[in-house]
């Protein structure tokens, strides 16, 4: 089989690695890919938003299955373009990807179908939003409606802060048209958990849980980033939480989307907060998480291509999704200064140390080849992953492996997975 992946970050490298393990696959393409992906796939220089060129490439090269990584391509309808050409493609159509692309849509869906989430209101005018804030309690949460690279959420401690936030999102358009609508939401407290699940539109099967670390600096300080590290599974997501979410969140969400005529086929990523009142949905994403994928897929036992095909064919109920009984930790090596200003183009050394080691992975996020040398090419550069029997060992091994890599301005958090100390002996 010939398979193509659309995307070029750490998530896509992890997906590419997992697909490359499938006995069914004899040719793998990735558009546009990166220097790490280039070692296991043929990289194709087409951008993720160039839907017609991508679909043409898939037709010409007789690609049997295309897997879409990024949210912006899904939100803009890449799957519909592929399907219109009769191509097989894994990911939700535009009318289902809206579950991530519009927070107002997802909040209204949850309200209509009684799916547990924070109380909220949606506003289309700054004046009405500010009026509402006069009666709000603080902290309160402002969310730009549309896609904003994970940055469109402001937690405001005072009325003044919230008014400034409304103005910057709705009037100054800090996040562009993503701020045409605004969600104002009740502030919740608790641990955050990421649960990724496969769905064929009827059945939903969850993968193992994970926890991300979104802030740039140790102790959850600094700015929000795309994710500085992850661990899987998260012990805070216990049996009770899982039972609750299976009953009140996962299947109800898939059923709700079906009832709305927006059948969801692909990966549904449910961002949860484990509040004192029980699990609540923080957000939905319509795709694999980054860097959650880097710790989830190395623990997955199934042939992922079979799972993708079952999602497309509506036969997911026949798949026995299984994960290893171990743990994985991912530490992101970033360029110092990320997520603001940083330099790139520095040579990376030590990558070869990972070769031939089954429990260690180095997934490339922002790298490229320059005159045969792998150089830094982004804010998040590499995701260093280690697998071990338990979380503590996986964390120690992942941090050990971060030392194998050197590049100028290398930056990482030193407390990925530290939260587990609170409950492990
Ligand atoms: P989101 O993009 O909706 O996941 O929001 C980004 C981050 O903002 C989340 O990971 C949470 O840390 C925080 N957040 C979002 N919504 C709330 C809420 N209602 N209460 C508290 N924190 C929130
Ligand atoms: N790790 C969070 C995300 O992929 O959106």
Residue 72's domain is classified under what CATH number? 3.40.50.20
Ligand 1, atom 16, residue with closest C-alpha: 282
Ligand 1, atom 6, residue with closest C-alpha: 153
222 CA from centroid of ligand 2 (Å): 17
17 CA from centroid of ligand 1 (Å): 30
Assess whether 212 and 293 both reside in one domain.
yes
- Which residue among 261, 284, 318 closes a domain? 318
Counting the structural domains of the chain, the total is 4
Region for 278 from its dihedrals, namely left if φ exceeds 0, alpha if ψ lies in -120 to 50, beta otherwise: left
Name the token pair of 37.
């992906």
Assess whether 206 and 300 both reside in one domain.
yes
283 CA from centroid of ligand 1 (Å): 8
Asked, for residue 424, whether it belongs to a domain, the answer is no
Question: Structure pTM?
Answer: 0.96
Ligand 1 pocket, residues with Cβ under 6 angstroms: 118, 141, 143, 150, 153, 155, 185-188, 192, 214, 271, 282-283
Assess whether 19 and 50 both reside in one domain.
yes
Asked, for residue 110, whether it belongs to a domain, the answer is no
Q: Which atom of ligand 2 is closest in space to residue 287's alpha carbon?
A: 4
Name the token pair of 387.
């697998």
131 CA from centroid of ligand 2 (Å): 32
Which ligand has the nearest atom to the CA of 292? 2
Asked, for residue 104, whether it belongs to a domain, the answer is no
Assess whether 195 and 306 both reside in one domain.
yes
Mutate-to-test residue for ligand 1 from 273, 282, 287, 419, highest number of ligand atoms within 8 A of CB? 282
Which ligand has the nearest atom to the CA of 212? 2
Assess whether 198 and 312 both reside in one domain.
yes
* Helix 251-259 and helix 94-101, axial crossing angle in degrees, nearest 10: 130
Asked, for residue 382, whether it belongs to a domain, the answer is yes
Which ligand has the nearest atom to the CA of 71? 2
* Cα(16)–Cα(6) distance, integer angstroms: 10
Assess whether 80 and 11 both reside in one domain.
yes
Mutate-to-test residue for ligand 2 from 9, 11, 150, 211, highest number of ligand atoms within 8 A of CB? 150
Asked, for residue 106, whether it belongs to a domain, the answer is no
The CATH number of residue 145's host domain is 3.30.1490.20
Name the token pair of 348.
């990376």
Residue 424 has a pLDDT of 56
Domain limits at 157? 119-186
Assess whether 202 and 297 both reside in one domain.
yes
Got the DSSP string for 51-96? HHHHHHHHHHTT-SEEEE--HHHHHTTHHHHHHHTT--EES--HHH
Assess whether 232 and 313 both reside in one domain.
yes
401 CA from centroid of ligand 2 (Å): 23
Nearest partner of 120 among 104, 144, 138, 99, judged by Cα: 104
- Which residue among 297, 318, 339 closes a domain? 318
The CATH number of residue 392's host domain is 3.90.600.10
Tens place of pLDDT per residue across the chain (425 aa): 999 999 999 999 999 999 999 999 999 999 999 999 999 999 999 999 999 999 999 999 999 999 999 999 999 999 999 999 999 999 999 999 999 999 999 999 999 999 999 999 999 999 999 999 999 999 999 999 998 877 789 999 999 999 999 999 999 998 999 999 999 999 999 999 999 999 999 999 999 999 999 999 999 999 889 899 999 999 999 999 999 999 999 999 999 999 999 999 999 999 999 999 999 999 999 999 999 999 999 999 999 999 999 999 999 999 999 999 999 999 999 999 999 999 999 999 999 999 999 999 999 999 999 999 999 999 999 999 999 999 999 999 999 999 999 999 999 999 999 998 887 55
Ligand 2 pocket, residues with Cβ under 6 angstroms: 150, 212, 227, 285, 289-290, 292
- Which residue among 261, 290, 318 closes a domain? 318
Asked, for residue 99, whether it belongs to a domain, the answer is no
Asked, for residue 95, whether it belongs to a domain, the answer is no
């Amino acid at each position: 089989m010939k398979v193509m992946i659309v995307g070029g970050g750490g998530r896509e490298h992890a997906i590419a690695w997992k697909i490359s393990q499938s006995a069914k696959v004899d040719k793998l393409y990735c558009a546009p890919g990166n220097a790490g992906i280039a070692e296991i796939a043929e990289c194709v220089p087409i951008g993720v938003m160039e839907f017609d060129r991508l679909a043409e490439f898939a037709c010409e090269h007789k690609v049997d299955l295309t897997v879409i990584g990024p949210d912006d391509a899904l939100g803009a309808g890449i799957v519909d373009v592929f399907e219109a050409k009769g191509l097989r493609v894994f990911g939700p159509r535009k009318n289902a990807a809206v579950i991530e692309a519009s927070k107002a849509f997802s909040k209204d869906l949850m309200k209509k179908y009684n799916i547990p989430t924070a109380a909220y209101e949606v506003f289309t005018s700054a004046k009405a939003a500010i009026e509402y804030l006069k009666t709000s309690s603080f902290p309160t949460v402002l969310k730009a409606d549309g896609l904003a690279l994970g940055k469109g959420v402001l937690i405001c401690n005072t009325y003044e802060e919230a008014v400034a936030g409304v103005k910057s999102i709705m009037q100054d358009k800090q996040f562009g048209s993503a701020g045409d609508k605004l969600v104002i939401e009740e502030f919740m407290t608790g641990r955050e958990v990421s649960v990724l699940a496969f769905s064929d539109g009827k059945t939903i099967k969850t993968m193992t849980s994970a926890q991300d670390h979104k802030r740039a600096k140790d102790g959850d300080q600094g700015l929000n980033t795309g994710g500085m590290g992850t661990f899987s599974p998260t012990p805070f997501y216990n049996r009770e939480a899982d039972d609750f979410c299976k009953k009140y969140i996962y299947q109800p969400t898939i059923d709700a989307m079906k009832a709305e005529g927006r059948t969801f086929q692909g990966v549904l990523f449910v961002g949860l907060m484990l509040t004192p009142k029980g699990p609540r949905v923080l957000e939905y994403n319509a795709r694999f998480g980054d860097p959650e994928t880097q710790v989830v897929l190395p623990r997955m036992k199934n042939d992922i291509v079979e799972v993708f095909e079952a999602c497309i064919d509506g036969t997911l109920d026949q798949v026995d999704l299984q994960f290893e009984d171990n743990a994985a930790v991912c530490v992101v090596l970033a360029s110092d200064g990320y997520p603001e200003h940083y330099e790139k183009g520095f040579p990376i050394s030590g990558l070869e140390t990972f070769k031939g080691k089954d429990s260690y992975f180095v997934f490339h996020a922002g790298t490229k080849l320059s005159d045969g040398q792998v150089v830094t090419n982004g804010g998040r550069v590499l995701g260093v992953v280690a697998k071990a029997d338990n979380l503590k060992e996986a964390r120690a091994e992942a941090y050990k492996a971060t030392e194998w890599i050197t590049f100028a301005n290398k930056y990482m958090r030193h407390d990925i997975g530290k939260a587990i100390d609170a409950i492990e002996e």
